[in-house]
Amino acid sequence: MPWIDTHCHLDAREFDADREQVVQRAAAAGVAQLVLPAVAVWDFDAVRNLAHAHGFAYALGIHPLCTDQAHEGDLALLRDALQQRRDDPRLVAVGEIGLDHFVPGLDRAKQERFYEAQLMLAREFDLPVIVHVRKSADGLLKHLRRIGVRGIAHAFNGSEQQARHFIGLGFKLGFGGAMTFDRALQIRRLAQSLPGEAIVLETDAPDIPPHWMYRTAAERAAGAGMRNEPAELPRIAQTLAELRGWSLDETARITTANAHAALPRLAALAD
Ligand SMILES: [Zn+2]
């Protein structure tokens, strides 16, 4: 049963040394499809080229942690890119966009302006969105209710009530490595109790390593790496299967159908 990693930063420099092997290991592990979200205008070409080289999918957008460095003109560049690629079957969403209220020192007004403008672009180009949520679920929901686009709330970490609001707006919620930690009680409770049709799987590689890849600060200081990669997805899925009481086959089937529902062009690629 093939798996879909709905969120992987394959263009990240952490993969520069061995990207081909990372792709091969993912394929060998049964991860058949990856969605590669952009984070800023400078990686639009990289995610598109990687998607086309490997048969993957991509999204174009400006990440909330990148808005501080972004120029106002980058929104026009995003619009140009969406216009230029509007018939590209591998362009499946606008993302990664959103709000981050966890990292200190960011310009919140600028983040919000970029988020709102990108939601409008998603609506204009009739694409779903991939949103980044960190201490920001209510702020995200406020604009989603008004602008009315759907998509995936990736690495979901809000409350159950916020989760249900996203689901009510037609969103799927992304679960990944964080769910594999026993102490991640809230995320595990959500993965267990939310409607099954609302859940998609992701790695967010190279970030959010699962517990078996986690290294303490001391181990990292001594040179140990903890880079996550898409080949870990089936083992992460095992955690979801256990939490839900699903077989691994059911887990693959359900989460694949959910990813296809969230990102319709991904379903078209699979046909
Ligand atoms: Zn991401």
Ligand 1 midpoint to CA 76 (Å): 22
| SS3 call for 119 | helix
**Mean per-residue pLDDT for 125-134?**
97
- Going by C-alpha positions, the residue among 69, 80, 70, 58 that lies closest to residue 10 is 58
pLDDT score, position 110: 96
pLDDT score, position 214: 85
Ligand 1 midpoint to CA 204 (Å): 5
* Whether 152 contacts 174, CB under 8 Å: yes
pLDDT confidence band for 228 (50 / 70 / 90): very high
* Whether 204 contacts 154, CB under 8 Å: yes
Ligand 1 midpoint to CA 158 (Å): 16
* Whether 15 contacts 161, CB under 8 Å: no
Instruction: Please say if the pLDDT value at position 59 is more than 80.
Output: yes
Please name the residues in contact with 143: beta carbons below 8 A apart, sequence gap of 6 or more.
112, 115, 116, 119
Ligand 1 midpoint to CA 132 (Å): 7
Question: 104-123, pLDDT tens digit by residue?
Answer: 989 999 999 999 999 999 99
Neighbours of 249 (CB within 10 A): 10
Ligand 1 midpoint to CA 125 (Å): 21
Q: What percent of the chain has pLDDT over 90?
A: 93
* DSSP characters over 202-234: ---BTSS--GGG---HHHHHTT------GGGHH
pLDDT score, position 217: 85
Q: What percent of the chain has pLDDT over 70?
A: 100
Question: 158-191, pLDDT tens digit by residue?
Answer: 999 999 999 999 999 999 999 999 999 999 999 9
Cβ-based burial of 1 (10 A; exposed 0-12, middle 13-18, buried ≥19): middle
Tell me which amino acid residue 51 is.
Answer: A
Ligand 1 midpoint to CA 44 (Å): 14
pLDDT score, position 223: 79
Q: What angle do CA 161, 136, 43 make, to 5 degrees?
A: 130
pLDDT confidence band for 222 (50 / 70 / 90): confident
Ligand 1 midpoint to CA 174 (Å): 11
Instruction: Please say if the pLDDT value at position 249 is more than 70.
Output: yes
Ligand 1 midpoint to CA 91 (Å): 16
Domains assigned to the chain? 3-270 (3.20.20.140)
Q: How far apart are CA 32 and CA 17, in angstroms?
A: 22
Ligand 1 (single-atom ion) residues, CB below 5 Å: 96
